[in-house]
Structure 1
Amino acid sequence: MRKNLLFSLFALLIGGILMVGCSDEKVSNSEEKEEKATPAEQKKVSNEPESEPQKDENGNVVLTEVGHKAKDEDGTTIELLKIKDVNQNVSIAPIKLTIKNIKVIQMTNVSKTWEEFLLQYTNGTKLPEKLNYIQVIYTAENTEEKNIGWNGIQKIVTNTGEQLDASGNDIIWEENGFDGTFYGKTKHEGTIGVITKANPNELKNVKLIIGNTFNPDSYDDITPEQQTQFDF
């Protein structure tokens, strides 16, 4: 049936050519003017990012566009697979938490040094050739003068069924890490990274389980645990 359909289409095309050929004289005697074709808008078809990654004030490469890559001196390479620019506030009174962005990053050609470090977060098993992790960048600010305790971002739950320990399995080392207490009206800028076994193409959303705030002297809760979800 498909061959018959193709043959019919081919026949129609041939018929159209023949019809034009028979009416050449009529067309040539027509006073109608042929419109001049204009150039079509053309864009390069590519999966490559449109720009190069930039560096921050400390010289670190910042991946902001899917496809951006960075390579360490030891050969370890990271590539941005997904990004969700959030810039939304979550109230855990008196703490104001702002989720800046959420990324899915892939590590390849992991060096021996990095491998030894990361193995402690994979139960000591061999690292995969492509190791993926979810990264969350945020700021948290105490809006009051009194000291406030906060348990941070506790879990990352994915639509693929993973419940990741963002508190105990954070692979991002911060020089000025948060110790769990805001001493007065202070602000903390933080980054967490948690290894995921999920197929990046199947990651559609993540749910953040955000720890409670409490009085650091009595340990009484102020605001209970919160949760919020973001789609890629």
Structure 2
Amino acid sequence: MFIVQLLLALALLGGSDSSNDTTSTQLEVNPLLPHPAYSELVLESGLKPFRSELTYKGLEPDYNQFEQAAKILQDKLLESALPPLLSKSGDTGTFDYGGQLKLLKTVPLKQSIEFGPLTIHMMDAQLLEASDIPDDTRKNISILNHEDVGPDITYIKIIYSVENTTDQNIGFYGLNSIHPNTGKPISADRNFMRKPYVYHQYDGVVMDNMGYGLVYTDDPDKLESIELVFNRIYDYDTGETIVEPTSLNIPFTVQK
């Protein structure tokens, strides 16, 4: 079941594949080693959930522009076909939100990392280029990105699953930010691939699939690595911190 869930998450969050014959050197990634995140890397904008817990429980329905934009994009994603993922640099396909898609760089991670009571199953990190994006999709991506985007964008996509391996009630806001080796850091609150009404409570043994699409505005040719910063993990009932914010460095260059 675990493998099926991950494969389904990859399919839902991927692009429609019409791969060309472009070949690329397979990137071999050494085991990812988590380490405490420097305080200056933890962005304030990525510390909190997108919405209140009351909204999720239906007590205070929230129809703000961010939830509406997320729902519209998620509906488009769910309506799209589920072909194989783009897997090699140069592969092209259809952007599930409308337009064309090209894979620029990819890191096949397939690694599981323990963060206290949680295990994060890292799947893929990709740099993609979407073009000919229709106006309605551009509008909703712009809302979630907090800045206007044009008909063509470059973005970083991260896919992982969170598994609570204990019977403890755990709170975790997920990814805080991405710090490329070049350019400015990107806060996770700009995620245009997020699900509407995201919940951040992991009560008992449970797993949740997460996808992030974050617009990257710097030179894609100069992107050599990204540092992922995850928010703290805490006891949901008491608020006590269990694991401080943690970083993972992911290379986008071939390792010797």
With normalisation by structure 1, the TM-score equals 0.69
Query: Quick one: higher RCO (CA 8 Å, sep 6+), 1 or 2?
Result: 2
Distance 1:185 1:140, change over 3 A: same
Partner of 1:87: 110
DSSP 3-state at the match of 2:190:
coil
What is aligned with 1:223? 243
Q: 1:183-194 counterparts in 2 under 5 A?
A: 183-194=203-214
1:77 to 100, 112, 115: 100
Counterparts of 1:187-226 in structure 2, within 5 Å, are: 187-226=207-246
**What is the deviation of 1:67?**
1.8
Change (3 A) 1:92 1:75: closer
Q: In the aligned structure 2, how far is the partner of 1:191 from the partner of 1:73?
A: 14
Which residue matches 1:172?
A: 193
1:71/1:215 CA distance change after superposition, 3 Å: same
> Structure 2 CA distance, aligned partners of 1:92 and 1:198?
31
Distance in 1 separating the partners of 2:104 and 2:240: 41
Matched-pair contact (CA < 8 Å) for 2:102–2:129: yes
Report how far residue 157 of structure 1 moved: 0.3
Q: Work out which of the residue numbers 122, 132, 146 in structure 1 matches 2:168.
A: 146
Name the CA distance, whole Å, in 2 between partners of 1:209 and 1:73: 27
Q: Percent identity?
A: 19
Structure 1 residue 91, shift from structure 2 partner: 2.2
Output aligned runs, 1:40-55, within 5 Å: 48-49=21-22
Deviates more, 1:219-228 or 1:83-92: 83-92
Q: Deviations over 1:56-94 (max 9, x none)?
A: xx7324212222222259851111111001122332210
Return the letter of the residue paired with 2:100. Answer: T
- 1:59 equivalent to 2:85? Answer no
Match of 1:37 in 2: none
Q: Secondary structure at the match of 2:137?
A: helix
Deviation of 1:174 (Å): 3.1
The equivalent residue for 1:7 is: none
When the two structures are aligned, how many residues end up with a matched partner? 177
Instruction: Give the corresponding residue for 1:118.
Output: 141
Matched to 2:156, the amino acid is: I
Give the C-alpha shift of residue 130 in structure 1.
2.8
Alignment root-mean-square deviation, CA: 2.3
Amino acid at match of 1:187: M
**Is the 8 Å Cα contact of residues 133 and 195 (structure 1) preserved in structure 2?**
yes
Matched, 1:158 2:131: no
Structure 1 stretches lacking a partner, 5+ long: 1-46, 51-57
Aligned to 1:135: 157
Residue identity in the other structure for 2:126: K
Alignment partner for residue 132 of structure 2, among 105, 109, 116? 109
- Judging changes above 3 Å, is the alpha-carbon distance between structure 1 residues 105 and 93 closer, same or farther for their aligned structure 2 residues? same
Kindly indicate whether the alpha-carbon contact (under 8 Å) linking 1:178 and 1:188 is maintained by their aligned counterparts in 2.
Answer: no
- TM-score normalised by length of structure 2: 0.63
CA distance in 1 between partners of 2:168 and 2:127 (Å): 36
1: distance between equivalents of 2:233 and 2:147? 33
Misfit runs of 4+, over 6 Å: none
Q: 1:74 & 1:156 partners in 2: Cα distance?
A: 23
Compared CA separation, residues 215 and 75, structure 1 to 2 (3 A): closer
Larger deviation: 73-82 or 86-95?
Answer: 73-82
SS at match of 1:100: strand
> In structure 2, do the counterparts of structure 1 residues 184 and 150 end up closer, same or farther at CA, with 3 Å as the change threshold?
same
**1:122 CA displacement:** 4.8
**Is the deviation greater in 78-87 or in 177-186?**
177-186
